[in-house]
Structure 1
Amino acid sequence: MPKTTFMGSLSSPKVEVLVDTGNPLLNHTLDGFLKIGTVAVAKVAAEETYHMVKRGSVSKHSLQNSLEKMCKEGAYWGTIAGVYVGMEYGVERVRGTRDWKNAMIGGALTGALVSAVGNNKGDKIIMDAITGGAVATAAEFISYLT
């Protein structure tokens, strides 16, 4: 029986935005904010477009609400990403090495910080730190596979 195989590859487009603040930490933080904030804005734009098409109507009020949601989500997720990227870069500089542990520590610090800013206390902050560290470490391991 003949055997067939398919071989190919997928690659994602690279988008580089260079903003030089003169400080590498700020450059990394701003880069993370812009990239992930843009993804969040695009996500909300797609969701809002879907809801408008489903309703079958577009109004000035719904467009204004959509724009507000896009800005809010973009700023929120961009800020979280900026904090994470800045933390990871800072940990890398302190440790003097680039490995998955920086992602884990940066994710844990970011999770704890975001949780504390959200008025959480004690165990919730610890659980959010664990989650942040786990997600960042998993993302780092996945990036090693590609």
Structure 2
Amino acid sequence: MSWNRVSGSLSTPTVDVAIDMGNPFLNLTLDAFLKIGTVAATRAAAEDTFHVIQKGSISSKDFEKTLKKMCKEGAYWGTVAGVYVGLEYGVGRIRGRKDWKNATIGGAITGALVSAASNNKTESIAIDAITGAAVATAAEFINYLT
């Protein structure tokens, strides 16, 4: 019996924009804002493009709505990412260690801040803080495994 093997690799394009703010905290925060904000804006554009294709036509009003949505989503998620990365870095500096606990604390505080800024009640703020901590910790462990 003959065996064939297929081998290959998949790599994604890497785009790095280096803006030196003169401070590692600011550099990391701005980097997270730009990267995640770009992903969120792209997702909003893709979603609206799908709806336009389904509808079969586009108007200037649709285009304007898409641009506004891209800016809003990009700014929102970029800000959340910047806050999280800044908090994780700050906690690490305060604790003097770089481990998963920084991600947990940063995620919890970010979840609570985003929830409080959305005018949620105390119970929702606590749930969002726990969710933020769980997601950040899981991401840290997954990143450690890869």
TM-score bucket of the superposed structures, by smaller chain: over 0.9
Q: Is 1:92 paired with 2:92? A: yes
Tell me the CA shift for residue 15 of structure 1. 2.1
State TM-score, norm by structure 2.
Answer: 0.92
Gaps of 5+ in 2: none
Tell me the CA shift for residue 41 of structure 1. 0.6
Tell me the CA shift for residue 142 of structure 1. 1.1
What's the CA shift string for 1:86-129, capped at 9, x where partnerless? 00110111111111111111000100111111112222111100
Identity of aligned residues (%): 65
What's the CA shift string for 1:46-81, capped at 9, x where partnerless? 111111011000110100000000000000000000
State TM-score, norm by structure 1.
Answer: 0.92
Q: Is 1:34 paired with 2:13? A: no
Tell me the CA shift for residue 28 of structure 1. 0.8
- Residue aligning to 2:106: 106
1:130 counterpart SS class: helix
Gaps of 5+ in 1: none
Tell me the CA shift for residue 6 of structure 1. 5.4
- Residue aligning to 1:64: 64
Q: Is 1:22 paired with 2:18? A: no
Give the aligned length: 146
**d(CA) in 1 for partners of 2:9 and 2:101?**
29
Tell me the CA shift for residue 11 of structure 1. 3.5
1:19 counterpart SS class: coil
